[in-house]
Amino acid sequence: MSYFSYFSVDPGHGWQDVPEPRRVEPGQWPKLEAALAVVNRDLMATLPGQDALILMRAPSWEPLPRNAVDGDQIYVAMPDGRWHGNSVNAGDLEEGAPREPDDATAVLAVVAAAAQETVMELLWRVWPICSAHKIGTHPRPAGTTEDWYQDETDSAGPVVWWCRGGRDGACHDVSLVGELAATLPGKQRRALRRSARKRDGRR
């Protein structure tokens, strides 16, 4: 999905322009912003030189009835505003869902999954990768098993990057989301610290 072609047809009136998506202003979606800041730590640690992901607000495709709740959707996007995948805010605000999920763990899980989809689809690369098994990881509650499925309600652990494991099937939690830097080999960790010092103007 991209922000370059948002139009809708109003019956009897032909094509009408829909306002273009725009970057979310700071403070508008505090829980989503906080979760994305955590995910961006992992992005910066594992993809040096990649700029931070942002939140984009896209207008609804459907015309809203008068007095309807704002139907805009929020997406995790590349710095240039492109994204891929589902929105990260509530799907049906008219049914009484909160603008943002109340639970910070749920927000982080949704944002991490959306960030992963955008990065993988638009950069054409697997991210993030388990350094032990050299395969892609997935956001899951800590301690889940291979047969876990997304709608389970009994997995209330913190959100981790989870690896399916090698041929022996030894699935494992790689790290908490936001803490991937600690799993990097020593040389990469030192390079990361050096680049952070440079960015902060320190030697």
Distance (Å, rounded) from C-alpha 141 to C-alpha 192? 27
Is 167 part of any domain?
Answer: yes
Reported as a single tens digit per residue, the pLDDT across 133-152 is: 899 999 999 988 877 776 65
Query: Residue 64 pLDDT more than 70?
Result: no
Q: What is the mean pLDDT of the chain?
A: 79
Instruction: Determine the pLDDT at residue 101.
Output: 66
Range of the domain at 177: 7-199
Q: Specify the higher pLDDT residue, 6 or 185.
A: 185
Q: Specify the higher pLDDT residue, 99 or 158.
A: 158
pLDDT > 90: percent of the chain? 47
Query: Residue 155 pLDDT more than 80?
Result: no
Is 68 part of any domain?
Answer: yes
Instruction: Determine the pLDDT at residue 20.
Output: 84
Is 1 part of any domain?
Answer: no
Asked if residue 195 lies in contact with residue 187, where contact means CB atoms within 8 angstroms, the answer is no
Distance (Å, rounded) from C-alpha 26 to C-alpha 60? 21
Is 139 part of any domain?
Answer: yes
Asked if residue 133 lies in contact with residue 163, where contact means CB atoms within 8 angstroms, the answer is yes
Is 30 part of any domain?
Answer: yes
Asked if residue 150 lies in contact with residue 168, where contact means CB atoms within 8 angstroms, the answer is no
Is 2 part of any domain?
Answer: no
Reported as a single tens digit per residue, the pLDDT across 20-60 is: 889 999 999 999 999 999 999 999 999 988 999 999 998 76
Arithmetic mean of pLDDT, 67-79: 76
Alpha helices (H) in the chain, listed in sequence order: 30-46, 104-123, 186-199
The greatest distance separating any two alpha carbons of the chain, rounded to the nearest whole angstrom, comes to 65
Is 26 part of any domain?
Answer: yes
Hey, what's the torsion of the CAs at 170, 171, 176, 182, to 10 degrees?
A: 40
Question: Nearest-CA neighbor of 185 among 129, 141, 135?
Answer: 129
Is 173 part of any domain?
Answer: yes
Query: Residue 121 pLDDT more than 70?
Result: yes
Domain count, the chain: 1
Residues 6 or more apart whose CB falls under 8 angstroms from that of 155 comprise 140, 141, 143, 144, 148
